[in-house]
A and B are shown apart, each in its own frame.
Chain A
Amino acid sequence: MKKKSIGDNPALVSILASIISIVVGLVLGFILLLILNPSKAGVGITAMLTTGVSSLDQFGKVLYQAAPLMLCGLSVGFAFKTGLFNIGASGQYTIGAFCALLGAIQFQLPWFLCLILAMIGGGIWGIFPGLFKSKFNVNEVITSIMFNWIAMFLVNLLLANMPKMLASAWGASNSDRTAALAKANPSAIIPKAGLNKLFGNSSWINISVFIAILVAVIIWFILQKTTFGYELKACGMNKEASKYAGINANRNIVFSMIIAGALAGLGGGLYYLAGTIQYVLVKSILGMGFNGIPVALLANSNPLGTIFSSLFISFIQVGGSAMQPNFSSEATDIVIAVIIYLAAFSLLMKMMLSNLLKRKGKEGKKA
């Protein structure tokens, strides 16, 4: 055991495993494209892989979409570190988005107050699954799925009964979406801080991605350096031992879900306060929260890893939307799903890889 092989470095194995999973996913995605539309498959995969960096504008879009993804990933990952599967990021995200828009349009607040409202809203939405889990030992997956639906219909119901919130109140004709912030309250739009000039007048870019990265670093710090993080992780890894250590596991479950909810809620705020998107009243749950799951899985729930995994998934999504004339939006969604799905296999890949490397290392030593 003198010479260190790659197999001895777990961090490196993790990264390598993630990269291999991504490559396998891309290959499978390409095969799917070949089946769907053979003549355009090459163009399609090129679009998917290059659009994100084809222009500064598109790159700006990648960064903009990465911010809410990152926060949803952090939300899922943070809860996961403490032993909870927060599948309710979507609902928390929806409530966060609603609270942000409520602050922006109804109450005419500036953007940072709206973001705080978004966090509070998401946090409150996280309390319920947490409380049910800690008080009655109800599985958080079930409650948070229900709360996803409750969040969506509640927001739809509220918006439908708040005329001031809708676009129709601000000079537009449609009443199926919230008002455009440029008209309703420009001060609620997240500042671009000159980034748009840097990014070739991209309409997408703003400081949200930096806010998200800052939050990721803060979450990393909490988990890694504080007694609170120590307790949370202990609860996640071994609830019985943390109880033995005098840690109030039930209280920590609630705290953990509040923080996870606040993170997803902030994600909702960041996405809808950019001024480019309006919240549309639909009858399906927003996918962003669910996309947080692969983001977290790909990063192995590591807050810093989440920064990169969210950028990757955002990149694939932006690329996917550029494939649309040649492939239907459903087809691109399937391909994106395949790639993300395979990417989430990184854990399995990691296990296989470390076994393989160990065996190789041993053979090498014998020789």
Chain B
Amino acid sequence: MAEDYVIEMLHITKEFPGIKANDDITLQLKRGEIHALLGENGAGKSTLMSVLFGLYQPEQGVIKKDGKEVKIKDPNDANRLNIGMVHQHFKLVECFSVLDNIILGVEDTKNGFLQYAAARKKVMALSEKYGLRVDPDALISDISVGMQQRVEILKMLYRDNEILIFDEPTAVLTPQEIDELMEIMRGFKKEGKSILFITHKLSEIMAVADRCSVLRKGKYIGTVNIKDTTKEELSKMMVGRDVQFSVDKKPAKPTDTILSVRDLRVPSRTHNNDAVKGVSFDVRKGEIVCIAGIEGNGQTELVYGLTGLAKTTGGTITLDGKDITHASIRERSKAGMSHIPEDRHKHGLVLDYSLEQNMVLQRYWEPKFSNKGIIKADEVRKYAEMLIERFDVRSGQGPITISRAMSGGNQQKAIIAREIDKNPKLLIAVQPTRGLDVGAIEYIHSQLIAERDKGHAVLLVSLELDEVMNLSDRILVIYEGEIVGEFDPKKVTVQELGLYMAGAKKQSDVGKGA
């Protein structure tokens, strides 16, 4: 053998009813390399990793470890083969300590008693060695997302895993934390560990990976050496066409103020205090204002307060000159507010309703769609078909498709179609591209800019700094429930924003209103 492959997945085919999720995919991981796995949503990355981790059995194909064929029937088998995985959504016990979580499942016991001291020593040694700072006695529920991720990584190391799978690890991190993670990954590589890095962020691949395999629609497209390729080439492989990275937009021409927020306070959903602590800002017609910040700094609560999903405890909200501080959700909607919610499954859609039923979720009561309490099924159908056509929402059976059966991108498109077609004065979009692929992101960005250019106001809440920099006309950074800085995206760097997002810097005169 010429190459030293630690894991080989050869000609893997995995079918689900009606769809080939993996179609003859080959993935070869060299010992001691960082290998990126790139693909749009639904390209089959997760399925392939689930096959490697023993969660699915492939219909065809073999998996080889160190050149020998192996059968991986469940995650325990994977663990025995020293394969570890950091899942996109962490698998931690919230009410357990860091140490408990790390040893969970592989506890050493003596006469039925846990051997904490030895475990602690091993964990601390690993933590030291790789620069994975954790507090072993803190509860998971009390520590930051970044530290939770370090706990997940320590879990793999504690089990002496040699092959580490990272599933979209950077989605929840700040720019500084991402840099840190990259450094840690390079450290693993030096130790001879092999890393599979799943992502759709091209800049991270360029920064850290040695090679990259690309999947598209369940098919294997190819593997390239990172030093021989470019971002543009990778994205072309991933999407199958040229993709525009920077969003094309004319300078904003903001006019009258539409939304005016003064000293707004909103209670936390989890703790017994205010998550939004006296925030003031304005959004004008024809501009996109972006609230940037690390997850959990009060963005969710701020949006809940603005849209009426949560009661506010102080301050005022004015929409187009009308005080809506205490208005109901329906009244706000009627007053011209549209809301693309953060969680499309929790708020955006009734998943067991058909697409057409979801298309009228905000408007079913209008005379256009109902008469004396009877729903006009024909009108609903016609309207849904029109939106599906106009916004290119793809689904198996058109308007009667159950929303649950649609892909994430198309679910999001349906929500955006519904909210934009309301012709809102103010569109509040919360992480509108979360978890979507490049093609869908491009489309959604162009829709948001089109809204702006129609003279509507857009308030964008996003954790993706690329999105923030590309789309917004004005950036407000939120940190621990307060606006700590206001920026012009043309005059600020991502690094600078990161410092404000992490609370290291603060402007003195912001958040008091424009």
Contacts and interface: CB of A to CB of B under 8 A. Distances in A.
A226 B329 CA distance: 21
Given A234-B350, A246-B330, A246-B333, A241 B361 contact: yes
A245 B375 contact: no
A253 to B, nearest CB: 16
B112 interface: no
Contacts of B328: 246, 248
A228 B346 contact: no
B477 interface: no
Contacts of A228: 373
A226 B374 contact: yes
Classify the secondary structure of A's interface with B.
helix
A244 B309 contact: yes
A142 interface: no
Interface in B162-199: none
B329 A358 contact: no
Interface stretch (B151-159, B362-370, B453-461, B496-504): B362-370
Interface in A307-329: none
B448 to A, nearest CB: 20
B352 interface: yes
Contact of A362 (B17, B347, B357): B17
A243 B309 contact: yes
B350 A237 contact: yes
Interface residues of B, number: 29
Interface in A243-284: 243-248
A244 B18 contact: no
Contacts, number: 64
A237 B358 CA distance: 12
B296 interface: no
Interface string A322-366: 000000000000000000000000000000000000100010000
B365 to A, nearest CB: 6
Given A226-B373, A227-B370, A227-B373, A234 B361 contact: yes
B197 to A, nearest CB: 34
A241 B307 CA distance: 13
B487 interface: no
A241 B365 contact: no
23 contacts: A225-B375, A227-B364, A227-B365, A227-B374, A227-B375, A230-B364, A233-B350, A233-B353, A237-B351, A237-B353, A240-B346, A241-B347, A241-B349, A242-B350, A243-B309, A244-B309, A244-B329, A244-B341, A245-B361, A245-B362, A247-B330, A248-B328, A358-B17
Interface of A: 1, 225-228, 230, 233-234, 237-238, 240-248, 358, 362
Given A244-B348, A362-B15, 12 more contacts: A227-B370, A227-B375, A233-B353, A237-B351, A238-B349, A238-B352, A240-B347, A241-B346, A241-B350, A244-B341, A245-B362, A248-B328
User: Considering the complex of A and B, which 3 residue pairs feature the smallest CB-CB distances, nearest first?
Assistant: A246-B330, A244-B347, A246-B329
